[in-house]
Amino acid sequence: MFLDQFITQLDASDNTKLAYQNDIQQFINFINRENIAVDAVTHKIVGNYIYYLHQEFNLKSSSVSRKLSALRLYYDFLVQRKGILNYPFQNIKNPKQNKALPDFLFVEEIDEFLSSINLHEQFGLRNRVMFELMYACGLRVSEICNLTLSQIDFENNIVTVVGKGNKERIVPFYDAIKLLMVQYINENFISDRLFLNKNGQPLTTRGIQYILDQCSKKTNLRLKLHPHMFRHSFATHLLDNGADLRLLQQLLGHENIKTTQVYLHVSNDYLKQTYYAAHPRAKK
């Protein structure tokens, strides 16, 4: 009864309400099996429930944290609206979450993907230029969607990127992509936005993901590709080849150096994988 009242008064979408209801009901089922009333739940019982979620369902820390957030709100409601005196979440902390390392492609995989795009097919040249430019300059998918011809300085091989918060940064590009861009522009009427769909409208992030899905079907790559992987690969490969972290921060347009430091872990992982795969005694 209390759960229905709690869900009804929530100011949230139907999907969010359903998720909260399922998470809280799961906890209620757990304490019911132990013959524990809602107002008799203790700090220790909550700890047992967290252990149960990990052991029984092998849930990630992020999923457990989401369930705890729903339960905290529910018990706030019980204390404030229903007069329950017991609040068992006072000293309960969310499980420590391991930061997921960004997905990236190896250099050989980048080469395989780009070379799989047929430049003679309709939109083939556009797709090749678009994805290679994302890798060449570490662009976000939103930045590639909004890129205009006026932002490209062909004489100096430089792109002026407008990133988050309308902050500009300068990123160089190499000659091979310059030649492809010139060919693409010469073969298409480009008045403003550089990358358009079949209807002549600027590509959206969803449209680029769809194109990427179609292009990746022609490869045997190990991962499902998403546009941000080109940016992750750009950063990882630069660090692997000796780029300075502060320089990479500037190229990526990160406000905080800590955001860029995640790529150090990726590079270290790659270093360790290479070591264990190559060292004769490490193989034993």
Residues catalogued as catalytic? 140, 164, 228, 231, 254, 263
Burial of 199 (0-12, 13-18, 19+ CB in 10 A): exposed
Contact residues for 254 (Cβ-Cβ < 8 A; gap 6+): 260
Contact residues for 10 (Cβ-Cβ < 8 A; gap 6+): 16, 17, 20
**Residue position matching structure tokens 């955001």:** 259
| Measured distance CA(17)–CA(24) in Å, rounded | 11
The gap from C-alpha 274 to its chain's centroid, in whole angstroms, comes to 25
Contact residues for 222 (Cβ-Cβ < 8 A; gap 6+): 109
Q: How many CB atoms neighbour CB 66 within 10 A?
A: 16
72-81, Cβ contacts within 8 angstroms, sequence gap of 24 or more: 73/6, 73/20, 74/3, 74/6, 74/20, 74/24, 77/2, 77/5, 77/6, 77/9, 78/2, 78/6, 78/38, 78/39, 81/5
End-to-end CA distance of the chain: 61
